[in-house]
Amino acid sequence: MLSENIRAMRKSKGLSQQELAMKLNVVRQTISKWEQGRSVPDSDMLILISEALKIPVSTLLGETIAETQVDDLKAISEKLEIINLQLAQKNVERRNRIQGSLIVLCSMIVVISAVFMVLNSPYLSWDYHDPETAVLGVGFHILEWLFVRIAPIIFAGAVVGIFFTRKSR
């Protein structure tokens, strides 16, 4: 029982036989003999062992102690929980950025559409005999033509994207 308790407590504290031996000013083989039950430490050494392992002597002399890795598992689970929370927060931030970008895109499409309606294609009344004016007028016409055909598709896609990136409750 004592031998098992020394081994279990040493391992639970993350100490090797050599490290415990150094703390107790004995050789590693002495620790090995105690843990194998081939010898028993005297009362003074029990006190030193309890101090080195930071446990009461009664625990060393008490019932069998199962090697617990609960502390290790608890620490790992706490770290995983923190990581999961950070990932969830990053996902929320990314979803919010995407949703904000889609809302800005929809707003830009609405504003540009309003500008095109207010201007009512002024380039149609330009004098196209001047080559520079003709090129500029054709450029405006192409821009307006593409916008009128592509903007509704982009707008619909952005609205669908906003719907899918909203916070689910």
Query: Does 93 map to a domain?
Result: yes
User: Does residue 106 sit in the same domain as residue 49?
Assistant: no
User: Does residue 56 sit in the same domain as residue 9?
Assistant: yes
Q: What pLDDT, on the 0 to 100 scale, is given for residue 101?
A: 96
Using 50, 70 and 90 to split pLDDT, how confident is the model at 69? low
Rounded to an integer, the average pLDDT of 61-71 is: 58
HEC secondary structure over the chain: CHHHHHHHHHHHCCCCHHHHHHHHCCCHHHHHHHHHCCCCCCHHHHHHHHHHHCCCHHHHHCCCCCCCCHHHHHHHHHHHHHHHHHHHHHHHHHHHHHHHHHHHHHHHHHHHHHHHHHHCCHHHHCCCCCHHHHHHHHHHHHHHHHHHHHHHHHHHHHHHHHHHHCCCC
Q: What does the mean pLDDT of the chain come to?
A: 86
Domain count of the fold of the chain = 2
Note whether 135 and 143 are within 8 A (CB). no
pLDDT at residue 64 tops 60: no
Q: What pLDDT, on the 0 to 100 scale, is given for residue 60?
A: 79
Which domain does 27 fall in, by range? Answer: 2-61
Q: What pLDDT, on the 0 to 100 scale, is given for residue 66?
A: 53
Boundary of a domain, candidates 44, 61, 78: 61
Query: Does 105 map to a domain?
Result: yes
| This prediction's pTM | 0.49
User: Does residue 103 sit in the same domain as residue 52?
Assistant: no
Which CATH number belongs to the domain containing residue 20 in this structure? Answer: 1.10.260.40
User: Does residue 90 sit in the same domain as residue 153?
Assistant: yes
pLDDT at residue 63 tops 80: no
Query: Does 136 map to a domain?
Result: yes
User: Does residue 110 sit in the same domain as residue 156?
Assistant: yes
Rounded to an integer, the average pLDDT of 89-113 is: 94
Query: Does 79 map to a domain?
Result: no
pLDDT at residue 19 tops 70: yes
Query: Does 68 map to a domain?
Result: no
Within a 10 A sphere around the Cβ of 113, how many other Cβ atoms?
A: 15
User: What is the rounded CA–CA span in Å between residue 38 and residue 16?
Assistant: 19
Q: What pLDDT, on the 0 to 100 scale, is given for residue 99?
A: 93
